[in-house]
Amino acid sequence: MTRYQTLAALLARRIEQGLYRSGERLPSVRILSAEHGVSISTVQQAYHLLEEKQMITPQPRSGYFVSLHKATPPLPAMTRPAQRPVEITQWDAVLDLLNSRQEEDILQMGSGMPDVTQPTLKPLWKIMARLAQKQDPRLLNYDTLQGLPALREQVARLAIDSGCQLSADDIVITTGCHEALSVSVRAVCQPGDIIAVESPAFHGTLQTLRGFGIRVIEIPTDSATGISLEALELAFEQWPVKAIIVVPNINNPLGFIMPEHRKKALLSLAQRYDAAIIEDDVYGELTWEYPRPRSLKSWDLDGRVLLCSSISKTLAPGLRVGWVAPGRYRDRVIHMKYIATGSTATQTQMAVAEFIRQGHYLPHLRRMRQIYQRNYETLNCWVRHYFPCGICVSRPAGGFLMWIELPEPFDAVRLNRTLSESRLQVAVGSLFSASGKYRNCLRLNFALPMDHRAEQALAVLGAAVEHAMAACAVDALPALSTE
Amino acid sequence: MTRYQTLAALLARRIEQGLYRSGERLPSVRILSAEHGVSISTVQQAYHLLEEKQMITPQPRSGYFVSLHKATPPLPAMTRPAQRPVEITQWDAVLDLLNSRQEEDILQMGSGMPDVTQPTLKPLWKIMARLAQKQDPRLLNYDTLQGLPALREQVARLAIDSGCQLSADDIVITTGCHEALSVSVRAVCQPGDIIAVESPAFHGTLQTLRGFGIRVIEIPTDSATGISLEALELAFEQWPVKAIIVVPNINNPLGFIMPEHRKKALLSLAQRYDAAIIEDDVYGELTWEYPRPRSLKSWDLDGRVLLCSSISKTLAPGLRVGWVAPGRYRDRVIHMKYIATGSTATQTQMAVAEFIRQGHYLPHLRRMRQIYQRNYETLNCWVRHYFPCGICVSRPAGGFLMWIELPEPFDAVRLNRTLSESRLQVAVGSLFSASGKYRNCLRLNFALPMDHRAEQALAVLGAAVEHAMAACAVDALPALSTE
């Protein structure tokens, strides 16, 4: 990013965070120039950019003001799922979402797909080409079950950034984070056991639990601070909860980072009730703050945290390379991996290991963070512009997912049916609940290029939401004819 | 192969099959030359080759005779496992086998690794390099859950050779055959269910069943004709057997092809007791006869057969590309795949699809069949030469695995401990039983190059076996001192 873009992003964030309120006057060009040590023209360019995004309005001879037309929508409130173990449903809806991937002309506005088109990925292609040119037969044969030592070393090195002291031997490579989660669940649970999850929670995790015959308790979750520790403790008191699955760094779908003191409290709660913690860190490298926040695993002294991650959100999901740092459950994780898929593909592991070793990973991450942050700001503007009032919107601290809550009885499943005429689909909220809650919510992806097509799609989506909400309001009126 | 090698292979096979018996005189050079339409010198070269292998002995002025020194060892008899559902053990032994893969200086004489060094694989490397050079971002992103249509089309086309009429939509791509088996088991069974398996059976299958909490009944199996249908029917009568897992074409580890009438009888038995059949066909393309034998799936009218296979034994296990044709269980298989690993790596699927589409697969298969067959003949000579009398040896009809049965109480686990000093390991027979039977058996791999190092290893192995058998014989003597 250039200087003026950086400054504009900073100011936009301050406006969003409410530091500058709707209608308030912004600092003068001269003051900002002095404060940030940049030229007058840089500040002017930054203000001009924000004006284009309709975030600020110039007033002759008075300077710039925060645009009045719409206030920042509030955050979704703490969720209130049923606080008892439930069987998981919603598979059909998940399958619909996955199948619609196949239809190339549908714009997937709610998928979990990252942007894989950036030039910082070029070295990865080169490495893959070079590996193929070398024709080393070892790359065609079975790898060891635990995974390529060269990759495990790099993963252990990366884990230092999240505060973890791990050796290559503490890592087990898996076929994507999906397998990491799946073998972790099976390493700590038996069918019939109960696991606590955040609510909303990633649909892949929920369906994995369903597949293993595990029941879940969905725990109320705050869209800024994460899982309710009070509700979790209550669950521990009432039920034999074997494990907790959480996404504490850039939660999917809510986008929060759990504050450090709450992470530590979660860990000691798990210790007190002797539960395992499966920590999904797949978006953790994509936080906008630097250095990245610590993982739960970084405070884990007795090996009860199974840290699961992958390069699927940061680099390339199509390579299917993930890992787990399984702590005390290492042997069982290796066993469960053996029975699921055996060893992981050798060549792709080697390509990823080389990409990290040669130093391409961190610059790539930096770029992706910047792109996603800029995309987020654009999407945020569009949502405010095209969506009706009365919605709640998450404020992700990284990643590329936004969660929007609409007033009940809005129905996102029905919305998707309407949208399919325009070849658009969102991820409906009910995918993220074991029991089909959150039909009034939807998830949007901002890894997509925020281009003209995306803006048009947002406009269509906003209009459809407005229309559906108006219809809901009519439905909610007392039925006069029957009185 | 040159002409004289082909002729030598044919003669060797006839000797092995007992067409020419030990000590018998072989046809004269002139007769053979006329019979096969080859030159006199070709026959002489062929005889010379067999002489080098110590299979035949020249006698001045009388011609060639089948060597007297050792007769063809008999086939192992029908196995006799316990005929009741058992819990599966042996994981530690499997892990030992897998871990020893990591130690590069150990010669794995019993692994399931194919030969991935042949020049017919060059086009695969080229395709992979070209795919990487094209830098198509779609190859870095998630594929659909069912797998790449281009690959599914090729798999459906290949299936015609085994008598199957399948469309691309009947196929689900998986991360290797291992995942194909694993999702198939989970698609048809619940924890606590009972599955019938051949005995001995592939350890990966057994451990998968163990991981899902499934009990098995090991069914007596003949090393020439396969699973005992009588014993299987008895099991059906006595227990609620949900499914059968079989490897009817080039069984692992016994190497047989089940005769067609027995395949059909197996299928109607499954129909009668409404059981699913999981058919592992991973070695099926490596039969020495051409065209390859039919799969059970080819007669499956009501969709109860889940045909599992991969390119792991024919092409390259390190790519982790497999598939299942799940019949009526398609939806459940897709669900189980989603919860295990999500989608399969995109680029490797594309590479395999292209390799087959461009016509490289069948010539490669032809070459591999020839190599393995030649290797088998060499290994067979060495086993007869270096092993003591009193053993039984399987007669594989393809693939690259040989099963050797030694007299009880010979212990292959103890043998492996001795062998580790010489940096050699075999696959011990007990891996292939749920309950640890077959400790007196071992599996050998003949995908390894049959070079000087291999012959030396065989010599060491033979001597160790002879030594251990002698010790067993002493152990088995009545303990005089205590009488």
Q: What are phi and psi of B387, to 5 degrees?
A: -90, 150
Q: Chain B interface, mutation test: which of A91, A341, A344, A448, most B Cβ atoms within 10 Å?
A: A341
What secondary structure letter does DSSP report for A429?
G
In a domain, B391, yes or no: yes
Q: How confident is the model at residue B233 (pLDDT cuts 50, 70, 90)?
A: very high
Inspect the interface and report whether the beta carbons of A344 and B212 lie closer than 8 Å: no
pLDDT beyond 80 at A18? no
The SS3 call for residue A346 is helix
Chain B residues whose beta carbon lies within 8 Å of the beta carbon of residue A102 = 144
The per-residue pLDDT for range A168-202, each reduced to its tens digit, is 999 999 999 999 999 999 999 998 999 999 999 99
Model pLDDT, residue A399:
97
Q: How confident is the model at residue B477 (pLDDT cuts 50, 70, 90)?
A: low
The token pair that represents B29 in the structure block: 């050079």
Identify the closest residue of chain B to A207 by CA–CA distance. Answer: B339
What secondary structure letter does DSSP report for A19?
S
| Among candidate residues A342, A360, A378, the one where a domain is terminated | A360
Taking each helix axis from N to C end, the angle separating A346-357 and A122-134, rounded to the nearest 10 degrees, works out to 130
Model pLDDT, residue A105:
84
Q: How confident is the model at residue B346 (pLDDT cuts 50, 70, 90)?
A: very high
Which CATH number covers residue B10?
A: 1.10.10.10
The per-residue pLDDT for range B262-320, each reduced to its tens digit, is 999 999 999 999 999 999 999 999 999 888 999 999 999 999 999 999 999 999 999 99
In a domain, B480, yes or no: no
Q: What is the mean pLDDT of residues A97-111?
A: 81
Q: How confident is the model at residue A475 (pLDDT cuts 50, 70, 90)?
A: low
The per-residue pLDDT for range B428-476, each reduced to its tens digit, is 999 999 988 999 999 999 999 999 999 999 999 999 999 888 887 666 5
Select from B129, B207, B338 the Cβ nearest to the Cβ of A129.
Answer: B129
Contact B345, B316 (CB under 8 A): no
Same domain, residue pair A145 and A246: yes
Q: How confident is the model at residue B480 (pLDDT cuts 50, 70, 90)?
A: very low
Same domain, residue pair B171 and B25: no
Q: What is the mean pLDDT of residues A375-379?
A: 92
Same domain, residue pair B347 and B369: no
How far is A322 from A176, CA to CA, in rounded Å?
4
Same domain, residue pair B111 and B229: no
Model pLDDT, residue B70:
59
The token pair that represents B104 in the structure block: 């590069």
**Residue A396: partners with Cβ closer than 8 Å, 6 or more residues away:** A250, A254, A255, A256, A376, A402
Contact B241, B195 (CB under 8 A): yes
How far is A85 from A79, CA to CA, in rounded Å?
16
In a domain, B356, yes or no: yes
Q: What is the mean pLDDT of residues A353-360?
A: 97
Model pLDDT, residue B124:
97
How far is A292 from A109, CA to CA, in rounded Å?
27
Inspect the interface and report whether the beta carbons of A335 and B207 lie closer than 8 Å: yes
User: How many Å is the Cα radius of gyration of chain A?
Assistant: 23
How far is A1 from A7, CA to CA, in rounded Å?
10
- H or E element: which one contains A174? strand A172-174
Contact B51, B182 (CB under 8 A): no
Model pLDDT, residue A481:
42
Inspect the interface and report whether the beta carbons of B125 and A143 lie closer than 8 Å: no
Q: How confident is the model at residue A482 (pLDDT cuts 50, 70, 90)?
A: very low
Q: What is the mean pLDDT of residues B23-43?
A: 89
Model pLDDT, residue B475:
63
In a domain, A482, yes or no: no
Model pLDDT, residue A24:
79
The whole-angstrom distance between B171's CA and the closest CA on chain A is 15
How far is A183 from B212, CA to CA, in rounded Å?
12
The per-residue pLDDT for range B377-431, each reduced to its tens digit, is 899 989 988 898 889 999 999 999 999 999 988 999 999 999 989 999 999 999 9
How far is B334 from A94, CA to CA, in rounded Å?
12
Q: Which of B156, B154, B102, B136 is nearest to B347 (CA)?
A: B136
- H or E element: which one contains A417? helix A412-419
Contact A84, A417 (CB under 8 A): no
Model pLDDT, residue A436:
87
Inspect the interface and report whether the beta carbons of B342 and A145 lie closer than 8 Å: no
The SS3 call for residue A228 is coil
The whole-angstrom distance between B183's CA and the closest CA on chain A is 8
Same domain, residue pair A245 and A301: yes
Which CATH number covers residue A167?
A: 3.40.640.10
Same domain, residue pair B190 and B254: yes
Inspect the interface and report whether the beta carbons of B116 and A137 lie closer than 8 Å: yes
Model pLDDT, residue A287:
96
The whole-angstrom distance between B479's CA and the closest CA on chain A is 42
Model pLDDT, residue A479:
46
The token pair that represents A45 in the structure block: 């360019």
Q: Which of A161, A208, A165 is nearest to A189 (CA)?
A: A208
The per-residue pLDDT for range B308-341, each reduced to its tens digit, is 999 999 999 999 999 999 999 999 999 999 988 8
Same domain, residue pair A260 and A305: yes
Whether cis (ω within 30° of 0) applies to the bond prior to A200 is yes
Contact B305, B271 (CB under 8 A): no
How far is B348 from B343, CA to CA, in rounded Å?
12
Model pLDDT, residue B479:
47
Contact B4, B46 (CB under 8 A): yes
pLDDT beyond 90 at A404? yes
Contact A298, A310 (CB under 8 A): no
In a domain, A84, yes or no: no
Q: How confident is the model at residue A19 (pLDDT cuts 50, 70, 90)?
A: confident
Average pLDDT, chain B: 91
Q: CB-hemisphere CA count at 13 Å for B285?
A: 23
Average pLDDT, chain A: 91
The whole-angstrom distance between A316's CA and the closest CA on chain B is 5
Same domain, residue pair B34 and B149: no
The per-residue pLDDT for range A428-458, each reduced to its tens digit, is 999 999 988 999 999 999 999 999 999 999 9
How far is B366 from B286, CA to CA, in rounded Å?
8
What secondary structure letter does DSSP report for A327?
G
Residues above pLDDT 90, as percent of chain A: 70
Model pLDDT, residue A2:
87
Which CATH number covers residue B414?
A: 3.90.1150.10
The per-residue pLDDT for range A122-132, each reduced to its tens digit, is 999 999 999 99
The SS3 call for residue A261 is helix
Same domain, residue pair A196 and A302: yes
Inspect the interface and report whether the beta carbons of B141 and A204 lie closer than 8 Å: no
In a domain, A483, yes or no: no
What secondary structure letter does DSSP report for A479?
-
Residue scoring higher pLDDT (B25 or A368): A368
Inspect the interface and report whether the beta carbons of B342 and A178 lie closer than 8 Å: yes
Residue scoring higher pLDDT (B78 or B103): B78
In a domain, A77, yes or no: no
Which range has the worst mean pLDDT, A222-231, B46-55, B63-72, B167-176? B63-72
Same domain, residue pair B240 and B348: yes
ipTM: 0.82
Model pLDDT, residue B384:
86
Same domain, residue pair B58 and B137: no
The per-residue pLDDT for range B79-95, each reduced to its tens digit, is 999 888 888 888 888 88
Q: What is the mean pLDDT of residues A39-57?
A: 88
Model pLDDT, residue A66:
83
The whole-angstrom distance between A14's CA and the closest CA on chain B is 34
Q: Which of B144, B308, B473, B338 is nearest to A92 (CA)?
A: B338
Which domain does A319 fall in, by range?
Answer: 121-360
What secondary structure letter does DSSP report for A271?
H
Select from A117, A336, A341 the Cβ nearest to the Cβ of B176.
Answer: A341
Select from B129, B315, B345 the Cβ nearest to the Cβ of A319.
Answer: B345
Same domain, residue pair B177 and B323: yes
Q: What is the mean pLDDT of residues B99-120?
A: 87
What secondary structure letter does DSSP report for A257?
B
Write the Ramachandran bin of B300: left for phi over 0, alpha for psi from -120 to 50, otherwise beta. Answer: beta
How far is A273 from B435, CA to CA, in rounded Å?
36
**Residue B332: partners with Cβ closer than 8 Å, 6 or more residues away:** B186, B187, B188, B326
Model pLDDT, residue A103:
75
Highest mean pLDDT, choosing among B34-38, B162-166, B385-389: B162-166
Model pLDDT, residue B69:
54
pLDDT beyond 50 at A247? yes
Domain count within chain A = 3
Which range has the worst mean pLDDT, B28-32, B66-70, B233-237? B66-70
Contact B24, B68 (CB under 8 A): no
| Among candidate residues A336, A360, A384, the one where a domain is terminated | A360
Give the 3-state DSSP-derived string for chain B, with helices as H, strands as E and coil as C: CCHHHHHHHHHHHHHHCCCCCCCCECCCHHHHHHHHCCCHHHHHHHHHHHHHCCCEEEECCCEEEECCCCCCCCCCCCCCCCCCCECCCCHHHHHHHHHHHHCCCCEECCCCCCCCCCHHHHHHHHHHHHHHHHCCHHHHCCCCCCCCHHHHHHHHHHHHHHCCCCCHHHCEEECHHHHHHHHHHHHHCCCCCEEEEEECCCHHHHHHHHHCCCEEEEEEEECCCEECHHHHHHHHHHCCEEEEEECCECCCCCCCECCHHHHHHHHHHHHHCCCEEEEECCCHHHECCCCCCCCHHHHCCCCCEEEEEECCCCCCHHHCCEEEECHHHHHHHHHHHHHHCCCCCHHHHHHHHHHHHCCCHHHHHHHHHHHHHHHHHHHHHHHHHHCCCCCEECCCCECCEEEEECCCCCCHHHHHHHHHHHCEECEEHHHHCCCCCCCCEEEEECCCCCCHHHHHHHHHHHHHHHHHHHHHHHHHCCCHHHC
| Among candidate residues A333, A360, A387, the one where a domain is terminated | A360
CB atoms closer than 10 angstroms to residue B64: 24
How far is B194 from B191, CA to CA, in rounded Å?
9
In a domain, A102, yes or no: yes
Contact B57, B377 (CB under 8 A): no
Model pLDDT, residue A68:
64
Q: How far apart are the first and last CA of chain B?
A: 62
Q: How confident is the model at residue A237 (pLDDT cuts 50, 70, 90)?
A: very high
